[in-house]
Structure 1
Amino acid sequence: MQWMVWTVPTTIFFSAIAAILAGMTAWEVVSPTVERKGLLPIATTRGDRLFIGLLSSAYIHLFVVGFTDITIWLALAVSIVWMLVLMRWG
């Protein structure tokens, strides 16, 4: 049986996602969310906006890697800004 080799960046990535999910769960327990309509054309909860943000960040990275010569660090910066905007005003 072969095991997956976890590199440091992979470990950091999945640990960050786990920490975000744990934080969102604690936030939901302390302060239950209500649906609201903002920047997005649908009513969303915090969890919906997190999911949409993570998915769209993946697409931003795929676009940068596949179609441009831009550094991946710029894609990361754009993704973080997009996630903050989406969570706040989405």
Structure 2
Amino acid sequence: MLDWMAWTLPVAVFFTCIVLLLAGMTVWELKSPTTLRKGFLPIATTRGDRLFIGLLAAGYINLAFIGLAGKFTQWFGLEREPSIWISFAVSMAVLALIMRRG
């Protein structure tokens, strides 16, 4: 059933984090409804808006890293491609920044 996708540990951890974020945000929203606020994003957003924007950014960061990993090896003279965990850490940091300050 899931043979079409390369389920590696980093991919599984990434999607598990997304599921946990969605579940946590649902509980948080039920306990404490959100209000619009203005951060560094050019629009007033709710927690859900910031989560959506942050998840999109995290996904694009991971896709860009996967696409550029071979180039990183050439550009920086690395012996092997950099670890996908680097993009995971960067994408989660960007998501946290957007959620907190966006």
Give the residue type in structure 2 aligned to 1:65.
I
TM-score, normalising length: structure 1: 0.83
Structure 2 runs not aligned, ≥5 long: 73-81
CA RMSD of aligned residues (A): 1.9
Q: 1:87 Cα shift?
A: 0.6
Q: Which has the larger radius of gyration?
A: 2
Moved over 4 A (4+): none
Other-structure match for 1:48: 49
Structure 1 runs not aligned, ≥5 long: none
TM-score, normalising length: structure 2: 0.74
Other-structure match for 1:57: 58
User: For residues 3-18 of structure 1, what are the structure 2 equivalents within 5 Å?
Assistant: 3-5=1-3, 7=7, 9=9, 10-18=11-19
Q: 1:20 Cα shift?
A: 1.4
Q: Equivalent of 2:93, from 69, 81, 87?
A: 81
1: CA distance between counterparts of 2:92 and 2:24? 17
- Residues 3-54 of structure 1, C-alpha deviation per residue, up to 9 Å, x if partnerless? 2248463544433322211110110011100011101011110001101111
C-alpha spacing 1:11/1:81, structure 2 compared with 1 (3 Å): closer
Answer 1 or 2: higher relative contact order, Cα 8 Å, separation at least 6: 2
Query: Identity of counterpart residues, as a percentage?
Result: 50
- How many aligned positions are there? 88
1: CA distance between counterparts of 2:43 and 2:31? 25
